């Protein structure tokens, strides 16, 4: 059995990074909200170690997340990070204090003593701090194993019980030896073996679903994007023609996209595919809606209703499959971090749906892992490397009310932008690029005439995992060409702007 680490989520924004860093060392990591798993379940599952994550709270706040102290006696190695470190101190008999003049933010020099956790790490190195509270008194049996100039306990350990805590964040790249520290925890302290690889994940997932879905009919929500395509491939491998993919053309797709998806899945891969043309239905329920979260919820709801209807036509299918991936779950606030956006395939689900079971085979994976899984499953590269496209489609790229006219304008601009980037080497640097139709009008001049038309925005980001992203530094000649083509070829557009905001603070999509 593959060794597993549990990342117990107390609501910090870096939590998904911890799981990534562990998986990069070929140990499988699972994230669970602190209130969704008990100590008994942790013991029963056989985790080799548990990590308490950071979180936005102070341990003394009445509303702050706490955990059953029995976990400290369970004999499982623990590592507390930031809030998780303070919580460990608080759960024993230590003390945590809050002092503005002790707060540290950013790169900080840490001085470490000999300990298993700091093995092969220099005595002095740079770590990433982000805290106001600090451990002011270490619990009995714990030794201080690192300090900084301001923080009297930057790390502590009860080596006998394999309990460790660090005030800083080993998961962020600014912590010079963060990778080594996690390596020490995984291999020297928890005794894990590096055996988690994508090929074993692919194989065991196919086996798992073969067994779990034996003789069941499954309806797959296929958008044609990377995630749902990989999920469809995996399930098709497991259950063959018991899988029916339903592809909803909601009228919010890019130019020619619906035809392309239909052709690829039907002709190339011999999958059961039903295409539903539902443009009318989606556009009429989106009429006069301008608020982004409301758009997302309406689209999510309509999707499910369409699936239900299709399933009824097929003679009742009990299982619905979706290509939800891990960042969708996190950003929809299903862990314990704040809701950023309701991704339509998660947060937008209505409460009552006519399926008995929902299957999400990629729920624990990050985007790059999904792509590796696709490669492992033998999917063609052009499908795997397609740019991500949001479930709500162009609805979140037309700001304000959605109309067919606006969608048509956007589709042309989007195609121009994508064509021009695709013709250059920048297609390899930019991870996702698209146009956004703002709801702003602006004055322009064409020939001798005054014009008053839309402001079109261009967005291009470069990123590995879409959790953070940088705006792509496209050359001005390229931008100039795109701008000139858009204003020439689309009379309704008066002005083109380029979005130079990274994520955070912006998100990739405008809504």
Enumerate the active-site residues.
Answer: 82, 169, 171
Three-class SS of residue 392? coil
C-beta separation of 146 from 112 below 8 A: yes
Nearer to ligand XMP, 158 or 328 (CB): 328
Burial of 260 (0-12, 13-18, 19+ CB in 10 A): middle
Nearer to ligand XMP, 29 or 469 (CB): 469
Nearer to ligand XMP, 21 or 341 (CB): 341
Structure tokens at 349: 């689900």
Nearer to ligand XMP, 175 or 322 (CB): 322
Q: Min. distance of Cβ 345 from ligand XMP in angstroms? A: 6
C-beta separation of 192 from 49 below 8 A: yes
Q: How many residues does the chain have?
A: 511
Which residue has 């080596």 as its token pair?
Answer: 159
Q: Min. distance of Cβ 390 from ligand XMP in angstroms? A: 3
Strand order in the sheet with 272-277: 272-277, 243-249, 218-222, 319-321, 357-359
Interacting residues with ligand XMP (CB under 6 A): 328, 331, 341, 343-345, 388, 390-392, 432, 466, 503, 507-509
Which residue has 């779990």 as its token pair?
Answer: 212
Nearer to ligand XMP, 57 or 324 (CB): 324
Q: Please name the residue ranges forming H helices in 240-316.
A: 257-263, 279-285, 292-313
Q: Min. distance of Cβ 347 from ligand XMP in angstroms? A: 8
Q: Min. distance of Cβ 388 from ligand XMP in angstroms? A: 4
Nearer to ligand XMP, 94 or 347 (CB): 347
Q: Min. distance of Cβ 455 from ligand XMP in angstroms? A: 20
Q: How far apart are CA 470 and CA 460, in angstroms?
A: 9
Q: Min. distance of Cβ 337 from ligand XMP in angstroms? A: 13
C-beta separation of 132 from 85 below 8 A: no
Q: Min. distance of Cβ 33 from ligand XMP in angstroms? A: 20
Three-class SS of residue 3? coil
Task: Please give the C-alpha separations between residue 135 and each of 52, 99, 157, in angstroms, as whole numbers.
Answer: 15, 11, 13
Name the strand (E) or helix (H) holding 315. none
Nearer to ligand XMP, 217 or 297 (CB): 297
Q: Dump the DSSP string for 124-144.
A: EEEEEEEESEEEEEPPTT-EE
Give the side-chain half-sphere CA count within 13 A for 18. 32
Q: Min. distance of Cβ 307 from ligand XMP in angstroms? A: 15
Residue 312's contacts (CB-CB under 8 Å, 6 or more residues apart) are 354
Burial of 229 (0-12, 13-18, 19+ CB in 10 A): buried
DSSP state of 177: T
Q: Min. distance of Cβ 306 from ligand XMP in angstroms? A: 16
Structure tokens at 86: 């303070």
Q: How far apart are CA 501 and CA 207, in angstroms?
A: 43
Nearer to ligand XMP, 25 or 507 (CB): 507
Compute φ and ψ for 130, nearest 5 degrees.
-160, 80
- Nearest C-alpha neighbor of 378 from the set 464, 269, 273: 269
Nearer to ligand XMP, 179 or 427 (CB): 427
């Amino acid at each position: 059995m593959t060794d597993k680490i549990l990342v117990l989520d107390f609501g910090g924004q870096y939590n998904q990074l911890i799981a990534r860093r562990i998986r990069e060392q070929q140990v499988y990591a699972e994230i669970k909200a602190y209130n969704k798993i008990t100590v008994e379940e942790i013991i029963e599952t056989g985790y080799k170690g548990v990590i308490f994550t950071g979180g936005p709270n102070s341990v003394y706040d009445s509303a702050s997340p706490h955990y059953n102290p029995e976990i400290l006696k369970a004999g499982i190695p623990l590592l507390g990070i930031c809030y998780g470190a303070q919580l460990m101190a608080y759960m024993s008999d230590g003390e945590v204090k809050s002092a503005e003049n002790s707060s540290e933010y950013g790169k900080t020099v840490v001085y470490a003593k000999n300990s298993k956790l700091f093995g092969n790490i220099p005595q002095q190195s740079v770590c990433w701090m982000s805290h106001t509270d600090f451990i002011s008194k270490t619990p009995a049996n714990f030794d201080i194993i690192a300090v900084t100039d301001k923080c009297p306990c930057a790390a502590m350990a009860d080596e006998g019980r394999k309990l460790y805590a660090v005030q800083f964040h080993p998961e962020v790249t600014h912590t010079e030896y963060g990778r080594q520290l996690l390596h020490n925890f995984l291999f020297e302290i928890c005794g894990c073996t590096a055996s988690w690889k994508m090929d074993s994940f692919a194989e065991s997932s196919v086996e798992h679903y073969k067994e779990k879905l034996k003789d069941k009919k499954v309806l797959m929500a296929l958008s044609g994007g990377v995630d749902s395509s990989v999920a469809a491939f995996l399930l098709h491998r497991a259950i063959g023609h018991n899988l029916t993919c339903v592809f909803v053309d909601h009228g919010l797709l890019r130019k020619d996209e619906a035809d392309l998806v239909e052709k690829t899945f039907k002709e190339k891969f011999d999958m059961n595919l039903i295409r539903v043309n539902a443009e009318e239905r989606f556009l009429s329920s989106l009429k006069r809606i301008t608020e982004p979260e409301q758009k997302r919820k309406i689209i999510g709801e309509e999707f499910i209703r369409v699936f239900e209807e299709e399933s009824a036509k097929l003679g009742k299918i009990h299982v619905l499959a979706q290509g939800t991936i891990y960042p969708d779950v996190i950003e929809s606030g299903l862990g314990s971090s704040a809701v950023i956006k309701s991704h339509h395939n998660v947060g937008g689900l209505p409460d009552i749906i006519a399926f008995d079971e929902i299957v999400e085979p990629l729920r624990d994976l990050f985007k790059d892992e999904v792509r590796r899984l696709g490669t492992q499953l033998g999917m063609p590269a052009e499908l795997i490397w397609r740019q991500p496209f949001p479930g709500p489609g162009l609805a979140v790229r037309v700001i304000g009310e959605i109309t067919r006219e606006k969608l048509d304008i956007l589709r042309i601009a989007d195609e121009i932008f994508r064509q021009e980037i695709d013709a250059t080497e920048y297609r390899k640097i930019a991870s996702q690029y698209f146009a956004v139709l703002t709801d702003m009008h602006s004055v322009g001049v064409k020939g001798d005439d005054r014009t008053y038309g839309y402001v079109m925005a261009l967005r291009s980001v470069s990123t590995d995992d879409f959790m953070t992203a940088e705006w792509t530094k496209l050359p001005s000649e390229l931008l100039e060409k795109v701008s000139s083509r858009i204003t020439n070829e689309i009379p309704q557009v008066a002005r083109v702007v380029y979005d130079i905001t990274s994520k955070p603070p912006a998100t990739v999509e405008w809504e």
